[in-house]
Amino acid sequence: MVIDLDKCVGCQACTTACKAENNVPHGSPDEQRLRRDIFWNKVIAVTTGKYPKVNTELISMPCMHCDQAPCVTVCPAKATYRREDGIVVQDFRRCIGCKYCIVACPYGARSFNSKEQEEKEYLRPDLPPDRSVWGQWPFPTRTHGVVEKCTFCFHRIDKAVKEGKKIGTEVVPACVEDCPSEARKFGDLDDTQSEVSTLLSSRGWIRLREELDTKPKVYYLLK
Amino acid sequence: MKKSGRSRSREKDQKKLTIDRRTFLRLSALTGAAVGASKILSPLDTPAAQPLPPKNPIVPEENWMVTSCLNCQARCAIRVRVVNGKAVKITGNPLSKVSDGKICPRGHIGLQVLYDPGRINTPLKRTNNEKGNGIDPQWVSITWDQALGEITNRLNKLREKGEPNKLLLFYGLNTISSQDMISRFAEAFGTPNLISGDGLDSETEKSGNWMADGHYAHTAYDLDHTNYVLAFGADMVESSKPLSRFLRKWGKIRREKPNRTKIVVINPRYSVTAAKADEWVPVRPGTEGALAMAVAHVIMSEGLFNKTFIKDWTVGFNSYKELALSQYSPKEVSKITGIQPETIQRIAREFAQTQPALALRGQESINWPEGSFTSYAIFCLNALVGSIDVPGGVLYQESVKYNEMPRLVEDEIAKKGKAKPILDFRGTDRFPAAKVVTNQIPESLLENVPYPIEIAIGFNSNFNMLSPGTDRWDKALKRLPYYVHISPFVSEMALYADLILPSTTFLEEWGYDHSPPGSGFAEVKIKQPAVVPRGSARSVMDIVFQTAKRLNGGVAESFANMGDHAEGFVRFRTETLVPWKEFLKKGVGAGKDYEYRKYHRIFQTPSKKFEFSSGNLKHLLAKTKKGKEEGLDYLPHYNEAKFLGDKGKYPFILLPYQPLMVIENGSQNYPWAQEIFLPMDGVGWETLVEINSETAKSLKLMDGQGVWVESPFQKIKAKVKFSEGVHPDVVALPSGQGHTSYGKWQQGIGVNPNEIIGVDYDTLSGQAAFFNTRVKVYKA
């Protein structure tokens, strides 16, 4: 995934689109105070400088899907693993809720679902309805007591592969599809002809916390 | 290891097929069997997280419905994914060209607007006659028949007495189709008192345009082709209209055209827009008009203006030039605005030399007393560099040509009622150019001027929350003899109602809509029910139809032959624009492409040209003020802003701003919006008092502690936030929080800055002034 910080408007449509697509539970004032609210994609603000020479970078943070993912290394239950296509996923059935991965992740991309009373929470009338009716993914029912994170909307990707659609043009994750300034692009980094590869070769870019050698697959294009 | 009931039952289903890890462990403990664990634990790089087969494999019935959003005035075309009758996802409609099929984050919140647990399901009648904030109205459910019977009974009596003008109608954010119905209802009934919320929005933008080119409307900008943007207090990517268009075009002008557009933001507050722009110029609040004149000074003194456009299509240039050159040198203006003369010169040169360039203005620069002239001064910069009706310049929005409604049946009672003076004094010498003065209503109600009101109806309005001086609204609403409120939830205004009718949300109703000026070309969007209405909620249009039918005289007749119900009415109005079946399927109908340089017909001014000295204003003031104004008042100019509160006692200027996640329907009970409410501070569920860190230290405050913000009128308490992005004279407070009425996710969260803002107006347009209240801040 490539996120263009020059085009990004800091609107947080990625966050709300993700919440709706993946039925990510919302938080509450208390949960926010305890830093327990769950986000698969969050926009963070990094402010430097003094008035009037101030600079704030608004950075949208999905899971970086690192090639050398610390979360995968530390998981004792092997609940988190890297798929062949490079997406790092979390198997809720394997997860034992030890939160090692949350500590290990240098990007804060992971959230622990500490919501109680799963049934009530997910079937509450104020939430968009339970997705079990979807039959397939994502997350027909979710258990509390496990760690959750961004999946690059792999339910979309897998479906697209099955249907022979082109990933990156016809099918993209929800946050990419719903980005109003079209700052986000998704595609195959190994394919030199893909839009993401072209973008990366045309401009200066960074990856977050490069020094840790996690080899993240989310690239940020600079202004 | 704790497991939920569901995962256990799932496991049972699974047992027949495979043995998973936990079952395996359990089995091996019992039997001591040592099966090759590696086989069962399976290679980890195969997709082990494949979804489990569902318990009861239901075949989901999935449907994508096209409709349009109504969480703000942009009214974007959307597609809604409906599964088994439930809406599960909202996304943009790619056929809409206003925002290239994109929606803003508020669009996604539509699901929570629809499934808000605080929605009401039946009409509610007050049984406690005492009204007030915090007093339980003791609602009882009644049927629609009873409710409509009660309302129409009273309305008929009012007309029988020959006093239809004593009906007052409020409307907040409604579909264009509902607005058309409400206006027609007022016309047919015979009341001139139809009050929209526009007077709280940005009427000064409209009046500034009207002085220059005769269009009393918001401005449309050709953002696709512009190369330079000078934004005076315009929060382009937070609260400009239509927002989704600004968001989309921002991406476009930055990186989707050969030369990247430079964006300079002039604002006392480091907004998200400022953070994303190339340059932030902090300005002393209320002095943007002087700055605009200084930019004009530089452009004119250095001869950088567009000579052909000025010569052929403008009048009043010489007196404008004389004024700017004599009074607004960068050096003088630097003293007023606090911006270095060199910066002013540089910005002005860049603006004039990077063509096409746009000068934008937003609430924070023009919602001031005499803000019309600031608005006029900023708008004139566009004409100075020829950015009028050219690619990359100001556009003249084409309107949607809906099918005409049948002629209004206006009976004698209605005619007499409409001839009566209007409650908000629009068009009088108090507010000569005003089309609506929303915030004047409480005073008129409290003083019974020009006459007392007997019945009021509010359509999705929430003015006692959104207007400066909220307590006056509370007092006035309390005194209304009979108030009917129509909305999906019990808003702050509904608390004062005698009767509440539950209306549908935009995902459950019929309607047609178009965006505020922006795209240039016309585009109509449909609203059709994506899901069945919750409870017995009815759409505003159906409520008006059913009420009108029960009324005597010309009212019922005025609503005949135009469809009889919401769906029929939408079809009647739009079928001439788009074939009905196609409209239902595509959701949008676009007019013809925009045509530039229509100079011979766009200027609606006495000279039929762009006016630097306003002929429209001169004519109007001659009528209302009997010509006592002198020449200066027809030119764009700057007057020192008038502040409410003494500078010695109240040293700071309050700056209430609208964050993007404020939903404009009158409620904020939407957790997805609440938890990411203040992106620049990384928090939600809160109101933060943002103060420049140096100023805060001089006040001996500590970051994060509770403080009182006190104006001469009221005080509110919130947490202080030290900021590097606020002018030292300013205290910035986000609006949108502080709801008191209903809802777990909004009640008691944050505070409402409108409670402490004083009441003032731009006297020309009647726009409520939001930014000229002085405050002091101290430890709570």
Q: How far apart are CA A212 and CA B145, in angstroms?
A: 69
The verdict on a CB contact (< 8 Å) between A47 and B117 is no
Tell me what pLDDT residue B612 has. 97
Closest-CA distance of chain B to residue A127, Å = 6
Q: Does residue A188 sit at the B interface (CB-CB below 8 Å)?
A: no
The closest alpha carbon to B264, from B368, B373, B381, belongs to: B381
CATH of B652-779 among 1.10.10.10, 3.30.9.10, 2.40.40.20, 2.60.120.10: 2.40.40.20
The ranges of chain B annotated as CATH 2.40.40.20 are 652-779
d(CA A222, CA A7): 9
Q: How far is residue B704 from each of residues B685, B692, B701, measured CA to CA in Å?
A: 15, 13, 9
Domain at A2-221, CATH from 3.30.70.20, 3.30.950.10, 3.20.20.70, 3.90.1150.10: 3.30.70.20
- All residue ranges of chain B with pLDDT < 70 are 1-60, 625-632
Provide the token pair at A124: 């509450």
CA distance B275 to chain A (A): 6
Nearest residue on chain A to B42, judged by CA atoms? A78
Residue A133 contacts B where some CB pair is shorter than 8 Å: yes
- How far is B650 from A31, CA to CA, in rounded Å? 37
pLDDT for the residue B377: 97
Predicted pLDDT at B221: 97
Instruction: Please judge whether B54 and A13 are an interchain contact, meaning their C-beta atoms are less than 8 angstroms apart.
Output: no
Nearest chain B residue (CA) to A132? B54
pLDDT at A124 over 50: no
Report the pLDDT value the prediction gives residue A143, as an integer from 0 to 100. 62
Give the residue carrying structure tokens 């239809």: B164
DSSP codes, B489-540: B--TTGGG-SEEEPBPPTTS--EEE-PSS-SSS-EEEEE--SSPPSTT-B-H
B42: closest CA of chain A, how far (Å): 11
Tokens of B157: 């009596």
Q: Which residues of B touch A137 (CB under 8 A)?
A: 51
A residues 26..45 contacting B (CB < 8 A): 26-29, 32, 37, 42-45
Cβ separation B103–A137 shorter than 8 A = no
pTM, full prediction: 0.91
**Cβ of B88 and A131 within 8 Å?**
yes
pLDDT, one tens digit per residue, over A146-184 is 898 999 998 888 888 989 999 999 999 999 999 999 999
User: Looking at the complex, does the CB of residue A12 fall below 8 Å from at least one CB of chain B?
Assistant: yes
Please check the confidence at residue A129 and state whether its pLDDT lies above 80.
no
Chain-wide mean pLDDT for chain A?
87
- Looking at residue A93, its pLDDT comes to 76
Question: CB pairs below 8 Å between A and B: how many?
Answer: 226
Using alpha carbons, select from B771, B734, B738 the residue that is nearest to residue B752.
B738
Can you tell me the ipTM of this complex? 0.93
- Helical packing angle, B288-301 and B371-384, nearest 10°: 30
Which residue among B41, B60, B680 places its CB closest to the CB of A133?
B60
CATH 3.40.228.10 in chain B, residue ranges = 203-398+599-634
The structure tokens 């007749």 sit at: B557
Of B105, B117, B693, the CB nearest to A12: B105
- Which of B2, B4, B116, B749 should we substitute to test contact with A (largest number of A Cβ atoms within 10 Å)? B4
Given a contact cutoff of 8 angstroms between Cβ atoms, the answer to whether B73 and B241 are in contact is yes
User: Which amino acid does the sequence have at B393?
Assistant: G
CA of B7 vs chain A CAs: smallest distance (Å): 8
- We find that the CATH architecture of domain B203-398+599-634 is 3-Layer(aba) Sandwich (3.40)
Q: Does A7 contact B255 at a Cβ distance shorter than 8 Å?
A: yes
CATH number assigned to the domain covering B124-191+410-506+536-562: 3.40.50.740
- Where does chain B hold its CATH 3.40.50.740 domain(s)? 124-191+410-506+536-562
Q: Is residue A95 scored above 90 in pLDDT?
A: no
Q: Which of B411, B421, B408 is nearest to B192 (CA)?
A: B421
- A177-217 confidence digits (pLDDT tens): 999 999 999 999 999 999 999 999 999 999 999 999 999 99
**Bond into B651 cis (ω within 30):** no
Cα separation, B744 vs B746, whole angstroms: 6
Question: Model confidence over B475-515: pLDDT tens digits?
Answer: 999 999 999 999 999 999 999 999 999 999 999 999 999 99
Report the relative pairing of strands B774-779 and A147-148 from DSSP bridges.
unpaired
Angstroms from B353 CA to nearest CA on chain A: 23
pLDDT digits (tens, 9 = 90+) for B600-628: 999 999 999 999 999 999 999 888 765 55
Return d(Cα B588, Cα A153) in angstroms, integer.
Answer: 29
Query: One-letter amino acid identity for B354?
Result: T
pLDDT at position B258 = 92
